[in-house]
Amino acid sequence: EVKLLESGGGLVQPGGSMRLSCAASGFTFTDFYMNWIRQPAGKAPEWLGFIRNKANGYTTEYNPSVKGRFTISRDNTQNMLYLQMNTLRAEDTATYYCARELPGYPYVMDAWGQGASVTVSS
């Protein structure tokens, strides 16, 4: 069974940093592109970025809205995905999801975690 489990959320002050983790299991992690998506309460989800699979060199792409502040990485020995978030703002408050991309269908997510809540507030 495919499982994705986010952790590391919580309260952070404006200007601060936070790293989210996503533990993956039930599939060959290195074969898949992995994404981060966030969703402010009551609003539309927003794609943040992805990290490619082994065959494509684990390179990354980001939404321009977070490029330069957010960094996606992965530890393929531990089947872990990470989202490093810096210079956080109140508008970064959201539930953050990791998601696996459907092979062969760019930008389609066929498995999601249940989300980690991040609140940016003083």
Partner 1 sequence: DVQMTQSPSNLAASPGESVSINCKASKSISKYLAWYQQKPGKANKLLIYSGSTLQSGTPSRFSGSGSGTDFTLTIRNLEPEDFGLYYCQQHNEYPYTFGAGTKLELK
Contact footprint for partner 1 (CB under 8 A):
4, 43-47, 61, 63-65, 97, 99, 102, 105-114
The strand pairing partners of 24, in sequence order, are 4
Question: Between 12 and 96, whose beta carbon lies closer to partner 1?
Answer: 96
22 Cβ partners below 8 Å, 6+ apart? 4, 5, 6, 7, 34, 36, 80, 81, 82, 83, 98, 113
- Give the nearer residue to partner 1 in terms of CB position, either 14 or 31: 31
Provide, rounded to whole angstroms, the least separation between the CB of residue 88 and partner 1.
Answer: 20
For partner 1, the closer of residues 8 and 45 by Cβ is 45
Which two three-digit tokens encode residue 42? 């009551």
